[in-house]
Amino acid sequence: MNLPNRLTLIRLLFIPVIVFFATFPFAQFNIVFGYIKYEFVSLPVVNLIILALFTLASITDFLDGYLARKNNQVTTFGKFVDPIADKLLVNTVFILFAYQGVVPVIAVLILIWRDTVVEGIRMIAARNGVTIAAAFLGKVKTVAQMLTIILYLAGNLPFELVQLPVHELMLWFTVIISVLSGVSYFIQAKDMILESM
């Protein structure tokens, strides 16, 4: 197995670790992580641990694609697993946010609906021997999702210091971009999708 594929698998392994730190009842075992205070903002240490894990996982996302292209190590396995790892990582964190009441459930549902529809479109295209590459809006969506997650985990710093809700604005920007990118995928494949109607 080449290095890019190993990095992709490492990204998958980060996911259960993130879920563990987000959901484990540490207080029941008298484990207290506490908070770090910056000005008037209190950041749970658990959030900072999850932020570090998520950031490391996101770096592997950049590295595996970069190394695969640079060293001509693009494989079918990588093409299959890489987008799955990306979506599982990001959607897992958003689901955890919704579970904790940090973000509106409807925002997370829209993001997951969009991913489901796009994967369906790609399956139809693949059956027709057509590969639909990631569109520009899709790449913007991925970056926006990661930035949104980082802002929420970081307590919206530094913007929280001036009481500017950039994390919330980024969440809804991400939702809008996700819908628009989903529409762009549909437009690319609409002839294949509608041919049997």
Among 27-31, 146-150, 189-193, the range with the most confident prediction by mean pLDDT is 146-150
pTM above the 0.85 mark? yes
Q: Diameter of the chain by CA atoms?
A: 61
Asked if the model's pLDDT at residue 129 lies above 80, the reply is no
Mean pLDDT of the chain: 89
Contacts of 65 (CB under 8 A, 6+ apart): 4, 82
Strand ranges (E), the chain: 35-38, 41-44
Per-residue confidence at 142, pLDDT binned at 50, 70, 90? confident
| Structure-token pair, residue 49 | 């641990």
Give the separation between CA 165 and CA 159, rounded to whole angstroms.
7
Residue of 175 and 79 predicted with greater confidence:
175
Q: What is the pLDDT of residues 37-53, one digit of tens each?
A: 888 888 999 999 999 99
Instruction: Please give the pLDDT value at position 134.
Output: 64
Spell out the domains of the chain, with CATH numbers in brackets: 3-194 (1.20.120.1760)
Give the separation between CA 42 and CA 22, rounded to whole angstroms.
17
User: Nearest-CA neighbor of 142 among 174, 176, 107, 179?
Assistant: 174
End-to-end alpha-carbon separation of the chain, Å?
43
Instruction: Please give the pLDDT value at position 131.
Output: 67
Give the separation between CA 31 and CA 174, rounded to whole angstroms.
35
User: Nearest-CA neighbor of 152 among 55, 13, 33, 32?
Assistant: 55
Q: Are 185 and 141 in contact (CB under 8 A)?
A: no
Give the separation between CA 130 and CA 156, rounded to whole angstroms.
41
Give the separation between CA 97 and CA 50, rounded to whole angstroms.
12
